[in-house]
Amino acid sequence: MSAMTKNPGLSELDELCVQTIRFLSMEAVQRAKSGHPGMPMGMAPAAYVLWTRHMKYNPANPRWHNRDRFVLSAGHGSVLLYSLLHLTGFDISLDDLKDFRQWKSKTPGHPEYDMDCGVEVTTGPLGQGISSAVGMAIAQKYLANYFNRDGFDIVDYKIYVIASDGDLEEGVASEACSLAGHLGLDNLIVVYDDNHISIDGDTDLAFTEDRARRFESYDWHVQEVPGDGNDMAAFEKALEKAKSERARPSIIKLRTHIAYGSPNMQDTAAAHGAPLGDEEIKLIKEEMGWDPKKSFHVPDEVLTHMRKAVDRGKEAEAAWKKLFGDYSKKHPDLAKQFTDAAAGKLPVDLDAILPKFEAGSSIATRKASGKVLDALMPKLPLVLGGSADLTPSNNTLFAGAKDFQKDAHDGRYLRYGIREHAMGAIMNGISVSGLARAYGGTFLVFSDYMRGAVRVAALSKYPSIFVWTHDSIGIGEDGPTHQPVEHAAALRAMPNLLVFRPADANETARAWKYALEHREGPVALLLTRQGLPVLDQDKYGSAAGLSKGAYVLLGADKPDVLLLASGSEISVALGAAEKLSAEGITAQVISMPCWELFEQQSQKYRDSVLSPGVTARVGIEAGVELGWRKWIGDSGIFIGMSSFGSSAPGKVCFEKFGITADRVVEAAKRSIASAK
């Protein structure tokens, strides 16, 4: 095909723009000697039409709240996105394209969340992008219902996705798209790059279901555009229908060809994940009428044409600002909520409404969490909650909550169904809306099902709040399949994730306060099924110490031994300290609800908690030992789990596995003896 070939819906200038996108993409991959050139080459026409004729955005202000959202769920085709960002005037230069996949570049191998550059979400792990987009669509529906008044549609945007075969094969996408259909998210439009190729070869090797009928069964609006991916008249017709659809999300199945235009690589698996080679690129340039001697070439007329997006964006945002100014006069309270939320400000002082729990009672931290939500959530209208079909067990439903449903966009509680992985990704999408936050609950053992989404949240620093209950063998009779033992350690191993395991109801309240005020990354709350005594804060250290990650709960001037614990095992440590005291042995008890926060404190503070001169130490946690040596040292003794649990009442499990005060007393004595 030559650069002058006419394709339906494209002018000669349009064709030139499309070819520019293709060559920038294949050359960036070739220069890096690494990447995925085939998908950008096949999807260039559709992406160009979407970005220049349909999407609303402002390259001069990528954070403009009323922009359309674009998610490249097929994140392996990242150079397609970077080329579009460069050509339309975002903060991605030609040199940035040349630095594709290089150290500290703005153009990493897969898109990483960076709003200043125009990257809306992190994608690459297939299925995450499209699933996050479902959360973005939910957020838009809720925010529009909450803020829009009297014809002032200050929240009025759509979410566009380019997805691949791999996205649709991943289970997380099936979960999320099923829920999207149930909720009727008509603001979500997915363009499915149906290029028939995956890394192993033709998709017929493993993926032969009727994808169109599958999405129809999800209650999506489904359209198919056959051909070779260049009939933009047909594509735009489908796109217009999708934009006008009401009550259903849309998917456009666009037949394309991977590495389109390559004489030897088109429709081959080799073009999916490897550079085409200098000789092949030369052949493509010759075939398409480009000068083979020029690389990273952007014709002046292409740049002039595509940079018109800057003026269009400025005009669109200026019109919106005028609308918002008029809106602010009529609805000043809502306008202030909008601007405060955009600035990351909470609408209320949490300390003023944080519940306090009286010492002497006993309450599971999951139930305490529910009471905290009852107190806080009515004052936090832009925080959306939910659970993966475990609402009564997770205690995530707050007083006065209404379900978010197809006909109830004012609802703040999401019924995710038994879709843990999708819940995590959807929460991420809500939490990058710029205004809303999300929390969601399931059992801690099922955090394994969510881990892909949690990892994306951690590396992207999304402010999602993961609520995981039934956090140990204390769950009891459900047995080892439901009793987490390695999960806390595995989550602590993840950078940027704050993992809180509160010791009682007041620590739980403080953990919620920290989570809601923290906006630099995700937070996990690990909560008990079983009741725990509410600690006397006059007798012991204040739960406010949780904000530093660890604190002295029971102090001593010259302790003989340090007892370190988290969560439910704090009660075990306090019981052991009392027994040791009766024998004339002084124990200092340290609550360690969040290791990550504790590591961030000054050395002086850490030394004030973990007395450096005391080497006799016992770590206590109903989980595996991994990570504890950092705190108890090589000579310390760990009391916890070294196996899976067992089906028995929780108290019996603790006794049989030796996580008891008596066992801690024995360990403390041994540790003291070995330290001498």
Would you name the residues annotated as active-site residues?
Answer: 420
Q: For the purposes of burial, counting CB atoms within 10 Å of the CB of 555, is it exposed (0-12), middle (13-18) or buried (19 or more)?
A: middle
Strand partners, 201: 198
Closest by alpha carbon to 112, among 92, 93, 95? 92
How far is 443 from 196, CA to CA, in rounded Å?
Answer: 38
Q: CA 539 to CA 548: how far, in whole Å?
A: 20
Q: Identify which of 426, 366, 390, 384 has the alpha carbon closest to the alpha carbon of residue 178.
A: 426
3-class SS of residue 607: helix
Type of residue at 26: M
- One-letter identity of residue 186: D
Q: Which residues contact 438 (CB under 8 A, 6 or more apart)?
A: 135, 383, 384, 385, 386, 414, 426, 427, 428, 430, 431, 464, 465
Q: Dihedral sign, CA of 634, 635, 636, 641? A: positive
- From the number of C-beta atoms within 10 Å of its C-beta (0-12, 13-18, 19+), residue 643 rates as exposed
253-262 in b/e form (b: 16+ CB < 10 A) is: bbbbbbbbbb
- How far from 580 is each of 282, 398, 453, 558, 588, CA to CA, in Å? 79, 42, 44, 14, 11
> What residue has token string 């009515």?
378
Q: How many CB atoms lie within 10 A of CB 234?
A: 18
Q: What are phi and psi of 426, to 5 degrees?
A: -65, -40
Task: Return d(Cα 340, Cα 574) in angstroms, integer.
Answer: 43
Alpha helices per DSSP H over 218-307: 232-244, 278-288, 300-306
Closest by CA to 590, choosing from 621, 622, 635, is 621
Rounded Cα distance, 633 and 636, in Å: 5
Burial of 636 (0-12, 13-18, 19+ CB in 10 A): buried
Q: Give Cβ neighbours of residue 107 (< 8 Å, ≥ 6 apart).
A: 28, 78, 79, 82, 92, 96, 97, 99, 100, 101
Q: Which residues of 104-137 are buried (b: 16+ CB within 10 A; e: fewer)?
A: ebbbbbbbbbbeebbbbbbbbbbbbbbbbbbbbb
Q: DSSP for 127-149?
A: THHHHHHHHHHHHHHHHHHHH-B
Question: Measured between alpha carbons, how far is residue 553 from residues 562, 569, 592 in Å?
Answer: 11, 13, 9
DSSP alpha helices (H): ranges in 245-345?
A: 278-288, 300-306, 308-330, 332-342
Amino acid present at 303: L
List of residues 6+ apart from 270 with CB closer than 8 A:
none
Distance between CA atoms of residues 489 and 32, nearest Å: 37
161, 100, 80, 81: which is closest to 126 by C-alpha?
A: 161
